[in-house]
Amino acid sequence: MQRRHWITLATLVVAATPVLTTPVAAQTWPARPIKLVVPFPPGGLVDNMARLVAPKLAQELGQSIVIDNKPGAGGNLGAAEAARAAADGYTLLMASPPLTISPALYAKLPYKPEQIAPVGLLGRVPNVLVVNPSSGIQSVADLTARIKAKPGQLNYASNGQGTSLHLSAELYKSQSGLFVTHIPYRGAAAGLTAVMADEVNLMFDNLPSALGLINSGKLKALAVTTPQRSSVLPNVPTMEEAGVKGYQVFAWFGLAAPAGLPAPIQQKLEQALERVANQAEVKSAMQKAGAEPTWVNAQGMATFMQADTAQWKRVAAYAKITLE
């Protein structure tokens, strides 16, 4: 009997250990450096925003944050690495459009979307619809009319299958009833060059990379894809204002983590990120990069991501896009 009593007691102690240690671990977090996975190469918008936010967040948390670039498969490899990591707050993910686009397009992903949980949305970036200035097209209405007059004869560039730029054009097509041919290029720069050379008729691009060419007169901006006009192109209408009702697309970036973070860590991380997002220096740097500072908490970000995925599923079904 006595031996049985001690075995039972030991069993109870072991069983209770996770319950006792989890709050302690949450209270001491972070006790070592944090890894921030960026699912794209250095130098792009998402990487630049990560390098802007990481040192500020490190100051708030009192612990260093190490950026780990894991490019590949349109952002899916980095997302998969974060999804497989322990939900202990020591691996974070720089979140961006592939988290909502990939589930709509890929027949098989290297991770499950529910394995990644949002922490907070930091900003968004308009896409912009551009044409060659010599085309004579002055508005989205002009462009729509020309495409309808020549169905299948006009084409558009993108930076590849399944990207935000590709789907921005497919959404325009689906909402306007257009037939225009997709020509994917290896990168947005090559696509913009093709528009300027009159090899293709139009393109949607992230505003920051197209802004210099628009301001220099090498490209004509017809509309931005966000619900409000861009502060850096105040005279360019939105797609909604230009007559494409219900049109809304923007690139975005924020922070995510493996699903299942302990509530105290989630709360501490989210609050720290909100303080960073509201710093004047951070907002100014985002605006200079062509982004719009847009703080949304974890719950709001989850709602947005669900709606964004649903939109891309509709577009993918309309355009019959499935990627392996």
> What pLDDT digit, counting tens, does each position of 72-83 carry?
888 899 999 999
Which stretch of DSSP H or E encloses residue 167?
Answer: helix 164-176
Neighbours of 183 (CB within 10 A): 14
**Phi/psi of residue 85, nearest 5 degrees:** -75, 160
> Distance (Å, rounded) from C-alpha 217 to C-alpha 306?
38
Rounded to two decimals, the pTM is 0.81
State the greatest distance between any 2 C-alpha atoms of the chain, in Å, as a whole number.
Answer: 94
> Distance (Å, rounded) from C-alpha 271 to C-alpha 119?
9
Q: CA separation (Å) from 15 to 8, 27, 112?
A: 10, 21, 30
Residues 6+ apart with CB under 8 A from 159: 165, 166, 184, 185, 186, 187, 188, 190, 191, 205
Token pair of 34, please? Answer: 């944090």
Terminal C-alpha separation, the chain: 62
Look at residue 290 in the predicted model and tell me its pLDDT: 80
Asked whether 247 and 172 are in contact (CB, 8 A), the reply is yes
Asked whether 28 and 57 are in contact (CB, 8 A), the reply is no
Q: How far is CA 126 from the centre of its chain?
A: 11
Look at residue 4 in the predicted model and tell me its pLDDT: 44
Beta bridge partners of 68: 37
Look at residue 73 in the predicted model and tell me its pLDDT: 83
Domains of the chain: 10-125+250-319 (3.40.190.150), 126-224 (3.40.190.10)
Neighbours of 139 (CB within 10 A): 14
The ranges of the chain with pLDDT < 50 are 1-21
Asked whether 188 and 159 are in contact (CB, 8 A), the reply is yes
Asked whether 236 and 128 are in contact (CB, 8 A), the reply is yes
Phi-psi region of 217 (alpha: psi -120 to 50; beta: other; left: phi over 0): left
Token pair of 18, please? Answer: 């996770």
> What pLDDT digit, counting tens, does each position of 5-15 carry?
434 434 444 44
